[in-house]
Amino acid sequence: MQLSPVELRHASRLVNHGPTVLVSTEHQGRRNLMAAAWSMPVEFTPPRIAVVVDKKTYTHELLRASGRFAIGLPVPALAELTHAVGSESGRDVDKFARHAIAWTPGPVLGLPLVAGCSAWLELRHIAEPHTEQAYDTVFGEVVSAQADARVFAAGRWSFRDDNTELHTLHHLGGGVFAVPSRIVRAV
Amino acid sequence: MQLSPVELRHASRLVNHGPTVLVSTEHQGRRNLMAAAWSMPVEFTPPRIAVVVDKKTYTHELLRASGRFAIGLPVPALAELTHAVGSESGRDVDKFARHAIAWTPGPVLGLPLVAGCSAWLELRHIAEPHTEQAYDTVFGEVVSAQADARVFAAGRWSFRDDNTELHTLHHLGGGVFAVPSRIVRAV
């Protein structure tokens, strides 16, 4: 997997189509990874993203304490891992160790980026205590973006028959994911 | 298209996988329709959804004035219409008339629901002025939900080869949509 830099003005396109994401956090040597089906861009420039992170979770605690988080785009081969880390808490166990997850440090914030994803974003947390409390909705501003150039180039996903192993996952519930492999053009 | 009622506890599942939606609004005889690629559930019970609606749009004006909006799930045959209503303002023209859009009134709030969608939700607007101003993010609570039982039943989407015409659209940008045609099971 070779991740190439993505211009920040294109970063929101990475989650424009509603993929399930992996959220990684790190604070003073403690780290965690969770899956989130619920995220969306809210702005292109500056690139800002909203993601639903339950305020009771360990991820939320690390995210608030460190002021940063990362988002990864899992591919079909990571479906089991995505489901697993979305179904357990990292408060008492290091999920990276438990699942033997390979990772590399993010280029700007040093956050743990799971190997094998098709794209990665690092974000600075924009604290909005009311929205986080009332709706579990967390905002972040993207400060680095990378994607596999075989499936995302010039600011756009290119889902084709020859790169299906790099397509995104979209959680339907209960560990069943849809993969958006068919293309419909309106223009 | 026969829409069956969906239990409210399952309503958030309709947008769990990140589809592009149609947002319809109506206030004192004025109505509008826009497309939104950016939406997500924020809670199952009560079912609440966030959608990004630019604060300068006519949809936002009608939504604030009326305290309600509806969300529809367009199918591939509606890709052109979805792209069209997402690219023009309804302030000076009634898009329903311009595009000869057939619709039925929603069961609880009477909002115009576009014929041919695979699912519909009616929502009461939850006013959050700061979040709307700062992030264009609008929250709503679902008060009615319907879906085509051939593709959504028992609280879950069932995307199969025999119902591709009812699959959802996921906007990649520039009028190109991906359709979730392949299923990956983690369990």
* Residue A82 to chain B, least CA–CA distance (Å): 8
Q: For the whole prediction, is pTM greater than 0.95? A: yes
On whether the CB atoms of residues A38 and B48 are closer than 8 A, the answer is no
Domains and CATH numbers, chain B: 3-178 (2.30.110.10)
Asked if B86 has any chain A CB less than 8 Å from its own CB, the reply is: no
Closest to B120 (Cα-Cα) out of B109, B130, B133, B131: B109
B20 pLDDT higher than 90? yes
Report chain B residues whose CB lies below 8 A from the CB of A79: 184-186
Report the helix count and the strand count for chain A, using DSSP H and E.
4, 14
Cross-chain residue pair A185–B177, CB shorter than 8 Å: yes
Rounded Cα gap, residues B24 and B104, in angstroms: 12
DSSP, collapsed to helix, strand or coil, labels residue A163 as helix
pLDDT in tens, A41-63: 999 999 999 999 999 999 999 99
Q: Which residues contact B61 (CB under 8 A, 6 or more apart)?
A: none
- Residue among B40, B131, B136 minimizing CB distance to A39: B40
Name the pLDDT band for A159 (thresholds 50, 70, 90): very high
pLDDT in tens, B35-90: 999 999 999 999 999 999 999 999 999 999 999 999 999 999 999 999 999 888 89
